[in-house]
Amino acid sequence: MVENRPFLTVITHIVLVMGVAMIALPIWITFVAASHDEIRMLQAPIPLMPGSHFADNLKQTLFGAGLSGDQTPVWRMLLNSLAMALMISVGKIAISIISAFAIVYFKFPFRMGFFWMIFITLMLPVEVRILPTFEVVANLGLLNSYWGLSIPLIASATATFMFRQVFLTIPDEMLESARIDGAGPMRFFWDILLPLSRTNIAALFVILFIYGWNQYLWPLLITTDTDMTTIVMSIKQMLESAEQSPQWNVIMMTALLAMLPPILVVIGMQKLFVQGLTETDK
């Protein structure tokens, strides 16, 4: 602080607390809705203070039939989401780090051609090539599978650039001494590059896990089998069925469960999260 202004300090805290309240309000209302029983949630105005049915709702949502009998249980959806998020994040990191390694440490024909090809993926988000990508995945027989959910999303220009950047900061002497000691390329990769980029990998993982978990449009298109439904997708179906038989307590509990894993990742690994965000986007 440059100068002491007690009045301004008070204003500062008031504004920040208001900001936090504004940001948290939707979550608070969700939490409250998830803690009342079904009947209370049908009377307007809905409550603003939590009720006593949180545990019941949690049990009903996770292991009960959720909304209606024929629905996939929520724990299964959480598992699907987890599998998709892990496959996307691990896949992206794995294929990006080895291609960055090839591009930085080898001189070979078409090196720059490959680099630009990877760069182009930056300009082709799923949304602009929905239909043809869907056709490709359908022709490969990957509809309704974890592979179909993850592989089409794992090419990553940003991750490749980031690893390239990291490798470029590693001093050349590392490679020289490794080669003098007789290490081949893969030995150098495993024993030197990988340990040196450990924090970068972790930071990237945090960002990509959230990215994978939150996918919506893509799973919506390629999963028709209800067993493959992800938790994020299920909200839309639940809201649709809410028009006939609203069970807001269960719907909002599902929303809460769908948000929780990525939020915990952000809060628990805040430092890595901030590092990952600033590294991949700038």
- Give residues 243-262 in contact with another protein (rule: CB under 8 A): 246, 248, 251-252, 255, 258-259, 262
Using CB under 8 A, count the residues that bind another protein: 105
- Segment interacting with another protein, rule: CB under 8 A, options 56-64, 72-80, 190-198, 263-271: 263-271
Task: Give the phi and the psi of residue 230 in degrees, each rounded to 5.
Answer: -95, 160
Cis peptide before 45 (omega within 30 of 0): yes
Residue 125 lies near another protein (rule: CB under 8 A): yes
Considering only residues 163 to 202 of the shown chain, the ones binding another protein according to CB under 8 A are: 167-168, 172, 175-176, 179, 185-186
Tokens 């509990």: give the residue. 253
**What does the alpha-carbon distance between residue 87 and residue 265 come to, in Å, rounded to a whole number?**
17
**Dihedral sign, CA of 20, 25, 26, 30?**
positive
Q: Does 42 bind another protein (CB under 8 A)?
A: yes
Q: Which stretch binds another protein (CB under 8 A): 21-29, 52-60, 67-75, 194-202?
A: 21-29
- Give the residue, chosen from 217, 224, 225, 227, that forms a contact with another protein under the rule CB under 8 A: 217
Cis link prior to 261 (omega < 30° from 0)? Answer: no
* Contact with another protein (CB under 8 A) among 35, 41, 78, 279: 41
Q: Is 59 in the site for another protein (CB under 8 A)?
A: no
The answer to whether residue 83 forms part of the interface with another protein (CB under 8 A) is no
Stretch that binds another protein, among 56-64, 67-75, 82-90, 97-105 (CB under 8 A): 97-105
Task: Please report the DSSP string for 197-261 in residue order.
Answer: THHHHHHHHHHHHHHHHT--HHHHHH--SGGG--HHHHHHHHHHHTTTS--HHHHHHHHHHHHHH
Alpha-carbon distance of 251 to 57, in angstroms, equals 10
- Environment class of 166 (CB within 10 Å of its CB; exposed 0-12, middle 13-18, buried 19+): buried
- Give the residue, chosen from 10, 19, 187, 225, that forms a contact with another protein under the rule CB under 8 A: 19
Contact 277/158 with Cβ under 8 angstroms? no
Contact 140, 152 (CB under 8 A): no
Minimum CB separation of residue 65 from another protein in Å reads 20
Residue 158 Cβ vs another protein, minimum distance, rounded to whole Å:
11
Q: How far is CA 20 from CA 16, 23, 200, in A?
A: 6, 5, 30
* 50 lines the binding site for another protein (CB under 8 A): no
Can you tell me which of 58, 61, 101, 162 binds another protein, judged by CB under 8 A? 101
Q: Could you say which of 265, 272, 276, 280 contacts another protein (CB under 8 A)?
A: 265
- Give the interface segment with another protein, choosing from 53-61, 72-80, 197-205, 267-275 (CB under 8 A): 267-275
Q: How far is the CB of 275 from another protein (least distance, A)?
A: 11
